[in-house]
């Protein structure tokens, strides 16, 4: 670790808002490192947030997430929109930084000043994605990104969490993955606003589409006001189908606004973020297992004289 | 969902302690469902906990976790020890219960009354494993299990969490998995107390062992009092190497006691458990995003008048 430089927050925020990728990168690094300046940074960003559309993109390894992200960036750029990409890797609790290994597809956008791409490891923070990603989204939002794509690999909770962060969640599948439809059964039907079967030139694509549509029709989404997630096909490495995905995103965006769902999703997201920060604050106040009330009650628990619930009651009472 | 029956906690706890698998299963279901009776159950169990040795077993899909667990159960049974097995699947946030798909190897122990096997989905609880597993361990511990094997698939954070729960963590690898050594680099070197290269009859096994030993020798574990994790080989589906693994577990157990590490690990585990319960209590006190202080501050955050940190301050102040 290098020694920390002093951070001139107002200048950094101004430069990021003026479009400096260096300033933007610096802010995101401060977010990733949970730097003490984050309070000041978030206060400075607050008035400039709330404009960007947040699109989540999730899928199992091998479905073509990077290629699809790259295709989406291309169609968004054709509309002259400013795009931020956060590639979140929740499987890397220990990694110190960006894992750009399979991000080669995104290199084509690397020189476009209207595209900002960043890989982030979620590093086992409390709540995983819940901690770092919303703040990274705030940074890109305040810096003037019109659309922020949050790409994450679908492993366990991460895809559920991403659905909580995004205005619209794209679930990506590929035919013949075997686990695709299995995964759908395991819960992604509930989180997808738009389903995309990528690699649609492969054998089995129509069957995957059919099965997905069937499963969606069986779901709870039958009330008239509820959104019916479309199932689209793409061949992302040839750039085919990107326009249709963007149209679906637009339709969903319109639906969100018409039915008050945008407000509702953003409220839930902000509440989750505030709660996570409040809990982290409370957690740090509880101190360490070797001092204070926590130490006392843990001694009792280890001796079998107190159960963990009664111990938790005492810890909570001590905070109040 | 069936309607809930009233739970006679004292009887259930007594029967579980007398060895009734039915009562044990019922208690674990109440844990999985975060039933309101848990407070009473944990209070009744508390005086009977702290005896069992907790052994974590983790590894990537395909390394032979089930087979290895089964082999370990067999060697432990030869010593006439009572064994509990918790197979935790952190990748199933939505699944309602046990996924016994690949647990066929464990069937050989199904009729042994001194072996209790349970699959659990961690279901996206706050903190994942941190929530349900410690309580399930308490149940098995109080029910008189001498050794509790907690098996989890290594995806992201789960293997780090399991290391926090166990007295001894076994990291399982297989030769020619490609990702084995990669995974090691990604962090499992830090969490393994005993490394086992399973499928040792496969090509590449000696190389995997050599590489692991080399990497361990490069690690931080060079001080005289630190444990040097052994690297063993097994062919679990032929039952080869189980005795050596058990010997390594015994050595580690002795080391833990000699160096005060057992006390330290158990203290950290209990503290984590108490903290998680206290935080959950505080979280539920914060109320919902549509009422009270949380609603107020979220309105301000959405309007850009408050940043999430300042909002969290207000939520915390309101709790105290």
Query: Residue A98: is its pLDDT beyond 50?
Result: no
String of DSSP letters for chain A: -PPPPP--HHHHHHHHHTT-HHHHHHHHHHHHTT-TTHHHHHHHHGGG-S-SEEEEEEE-TTS-HHHHHHHHHHHHHHTT--EEEEEEETT-SS--S---TT-GGGGGGTT-TTEEEEEEE-TT-TTTHHHHHHHHHHHHHHTT-SEEEEEEE--TTHHHHHHHH-SEEEEEE-TT-SHHHHHIIIIIHHH-SEEEE--TTSTTHHHHHHHHHHHHHHSSTTSTTS----EEE-BGGGTBTHHHHHHHHHHHHHHHHHTTHHHHHHHHHHHHHHHHHHHHHHHHHT--TTSHHHHHHHHHHHTTSS-HHHHHHHHHHHH-
Q: How confident is the model at residue A12 (pLDDT cuts 50, 70, 90)?
A: very high
Query: Taking a C-beta distance cutoff of 8 angstroms, is the pair B158, B88 a contact?
Result: yes
Whether residues A222 and A304 share a domain: the answer is no
Whether residues A55 and A165 share a domain: the answer is yes
Position A6 scores a pLDDT of 78
Query: Residue A63: is its pLDDT beyond 60?
Result: yes
Residue where one domain finishes, among candidates B214, B240, B259: B259
B34 interfaces chain A, CB cutoff of 8 Å: no
End-to-end CA distance of chain B: 37
Query: Mutation test of the interface with chain B: which of A47, A121, A154, A278, choosing the one with the most B Cβ atoms within 10 A?
Result: A278
The nearest alpha carbon in chain B to A186 belongs to B94
What are residue B168's phi and psi, to 5 degrees?
-135, 135
What's the rounded Cα separation, in Å, for the pair A62 and A69? 13
Cβ partners under 8 Å of residue B106, min gap 6: B66, B69, B70, B73, B85, B117
Average pLDDT of the segment spanning A53-70: 90
Tell me which of A250 and A280 has the higher pLDDT: A250
Q: How far is B149 from chain A (nearest CA, A)?
A: 20
Q: Which of B197, B32, B206 is nearest to B121 (CA)?
A: B32
Residue A245 lies in a domain: yes
String of DSSP letters for chain B: -PPPPP--HHHHHHHHHTT-HHHHHHHHHHHHTT-TTHHHHHHHHGGG-S-SEEEEEEE-TTS-HHHHHHHHHHHHHHTT--EEEEEEETT-SS--S---TT-GGGGGGTT-TTEEEEEEE-TT-TTTHHHHHHHHHHHHHHTT-SEEEEEEE--TTHHHHHHHH-SEEEEEE-TT-SHHHHHIIIIIHHH-SEEEE--TTSTTHHHHHHHHHHHHHHSSTTSTTS----EEE-BGGGTBTHHHHHHHHHHHHHHHHHTTHHHHHHHHHHHHHHHHHHHHHHHHHT--TTSHHHHHHHHHHHTTSS-HHHHHHHHHHHH-
What's the rounded Cα separation, in Å, for the pair B173 and B211? 12
Distances (CA, A) of A95 to A91, A129, B26, B190: 9, 14, 40, 13
Whether residues B219 and B308 share a domain: the answer is no
Per-residue pLDDT tens over the stretch A222-250: 556 789 899 999 999 999 999 999 999 99
Q: Which of A69, A91, A68, A58 is nearest to A180 (CA)?
A: A58
B283 interfaces chain A, CB cutoff of 8 Å: yes
Q: Do B312 and A92 touch (CB under 8 A)?
A: no
CA B238 to chain centre: 26
Work out the angle between the directed axes of helices A21-32 and A38-45 (0-180°, nearest 10). Answer: 130
| CATH number of the CATH domain containing A210 | 3.40.50.300
Query: To which residue do tokens 């589906």 refer?
Result: B237
Q: Which of A202, A39, A285 is nearest to B306 (CA)?
A: A39
B138 contacts in chain A (CB < 8 Å): 308
Residue A133 lies in a domain: yes
Per-residue pLDDT tens over the stretch B73-85: 999 999 999 999 9
Position B154 scores a pLDDT of 64
* Residue A200, CB-side half-sphere exposure with 13 Å CA sphere: 20
Whether residues B255 and B294 share a domain: the answer is no
Per-residue pLDDT tens over the stretch A198-209: 999 999 999 989
Query: Into how many domains does chain B fold?
Result: 2
Per-residue pLDDT tens over the stretch A112-136: 889 998 887 655 444 445 568 889 9
Residue A254 lies in a domain: yes
Cβ partners under 8 Å of residue B208, min gap 6: B173, B174, B175, B176, B180, B181, B197
Residue A174 lies in a domain: yes
CA A24 to chain centre: 18
Tokens of B299: 């309105």
Whether residues A64 and A165 share a domain: the answer is yes
Residue where one domain finishes, among candidates B215, B242, B259: B259
Across the A/B interface, how many CB contacts are shorter than 8 Å? 197
| Partner A, chain B 94-133, Cβ-Cβ below 8 Å | 94-95, 124, 126-128
Query: Taking a C-beta distance cutoff of 8 angstroms, is the pair A128, A157 a contact?
Result: yes
Tell me which of A296 and A120 has the higher pLDDT: A296
Position A197 scores a pLDDT of 95
Average pLDDT of the segment spanning A283-290: 83
Whether residues A114 and A223 share a domain: the answer is yes
Query: Residue A18: is its pLDDT beyond 60?
Result: yes
> Which residues constitute the domain of residue B155?
50-259
The nearest alpha carbon in chain B to A270 belongs to B298
Q: Which of A167, A141, A145 is nearest to A50 (CA)?
A: A141
Tell me which of B174 and A102 has the higher pLDDT: B174
Position B132 scores a pLDDT of 82
Average pLDDT of the segment spanning A154-171: 72
Q: Do B275 and A157 touch (CB under 8 A)?
A: no
Whether residues A208 and A141 share a domain: the answer is yes
Report, as ranges of residue numbers, the positions in chain B whose pLDDT lies below 70: 1-5, 89-107, 121-131, 154-163, 177-187, 219-224
Tell me which of A310 and A91 has the higher pLDDT: A310
Whether residues B93 and B224 share a domain: the answer is yes
What's the rounded Cα separation, in Å, for the pair A84 and A93? 23
Residue where one domain finishes, among candidates A258, A276, A304: A258
What's the rounded Cα separation, in Å, for the pair A148 and A170? 13
Residue B24 lies in a domain: no
Query: Taking a C-beta distance cutoff of 8 angstroms, is the pair B124, A160 a contact?
Result: yes
Whether residues A294 and A228 share a domain: the answer is no
Position A68 scores a pLDDT of 94
Q: Do B286 and A278 touch (CB under 8 A)?
A: yes
Of A186, A279, A280, the CB nearest to B94: A186
Q: How confident is the model at residue A216 (pLDDT cuts 50, 70, 90)?
A: confident
Q: Do B277 and A304 touch (CB under 8 A)?
A: no
Cβ partners under 8 Å of residue B9, min gap 6: B37, B40, B41, B44
B267 interfaces chain A, CB cutoff of 8 Å: yes
Position A103 scores a pLDDT of 52
Burial group, residue B292, by CB count within 10 angstroms (0-12, 13-18, 19+): middle
Residue B8 lies in a domain: no
B157 contacts in chain A (CB < 8 Å): 90, 93, 124, 128
Tokens of B282: 């505080």
Whether residues B172 and B255 share a domain: the answer is yes
Residue B21 lies in a domain: no
Residue B130 lies in a domain: yes
B186 interfaces chain A, CB cutoff of 8 Å: yes
Average pLDDT of the segment spanning A183-194: 72
Query: To which residue do tokens 């693994």 refer?
Result: B245
Burial group, residue B277, by CB count within 10 angstroms (0-12, 13-18, 19+): buried
Whether residues A202 and A64 share a domain: the answer is yes
| Strands, sheet with B231-233, edge to edge from the N-terminal-most edge strand | B115-121, B83-89, B147-153, B53-59, B168-173, B194-197, B231-233
A93 contacts in chain B (CB < 8 Å): 156-157, 160, 187
Whether residues B245 and B310 share a domain: the answer is no
Query: Mutation test of the interface with chain A: which of B278, B282, B295, B312, choosing the one with the most A Cβ atoms within 10 A?
Result: B278
């Amino acid at each position: 670790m290098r020694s920390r430089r002093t951070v001139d927050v107002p200048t950094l925020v101004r430069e990021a808002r003026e479009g400096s990728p260096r300033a933007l990168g610096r802010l995101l690094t401060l977010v990733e490192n949970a730097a003490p300046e984050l309070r000041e940074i978030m206060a400075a960003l607050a008035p400039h947030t709330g404009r960007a559309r947040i699109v989540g993109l999730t899928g199992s390894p091998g479905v073509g997430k990077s290629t699809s992200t790259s295709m989406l960036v291309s169609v968004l750029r054709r509309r002259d929109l400013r795009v931020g990409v956060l590639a979140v890797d929740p499987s890397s609790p220990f990694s110190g930084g960006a894992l750009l290994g399979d991000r080669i597809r995104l290199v084509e956008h690397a020189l476009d000043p209207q595209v900002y791409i960043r890989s982030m490891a979620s590093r086992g923070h409390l709540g995983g994605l819940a901690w770092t990603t919303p703040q990274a989204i705030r940074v890109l939002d305040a810096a003037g990104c019109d659309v922020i794509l949050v790409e994450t690999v679908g492993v366990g909770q991460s895809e559920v969490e991403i659905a909580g962060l995004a205005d619209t969640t794209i679930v990506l599948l590929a035919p013949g993955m075997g686990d695709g439809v299995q995964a759908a059964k395991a819960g992604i039907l509930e989180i997808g606003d738009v389903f995309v079967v990528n690699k649609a030139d492969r054998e089995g694509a129509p069957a995957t589409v059919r099965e997905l549509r069937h499963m969606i029709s069986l779901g709870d989404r039958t009330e008239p006001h509820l959104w019916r997630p479309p199932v689209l096909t793409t061949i992302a490495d040839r750039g085919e189908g990107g326009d249709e995905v963007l149209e679906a995103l637009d339709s969903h965006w319109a639906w969100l606004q018409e039915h008050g769902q945008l407000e509702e999703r953003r409220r839930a997201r902000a509440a989750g973020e505030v709660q996570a920060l409040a809990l982290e604050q409370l957690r740090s106040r509880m101190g360490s297992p070797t001092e204070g009330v926590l130490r006392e009650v843990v001694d009792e628990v280890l001796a079998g004289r107190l159960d963990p619930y009664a111990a938790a009651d005492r810890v909570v009472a001590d905070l109040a």
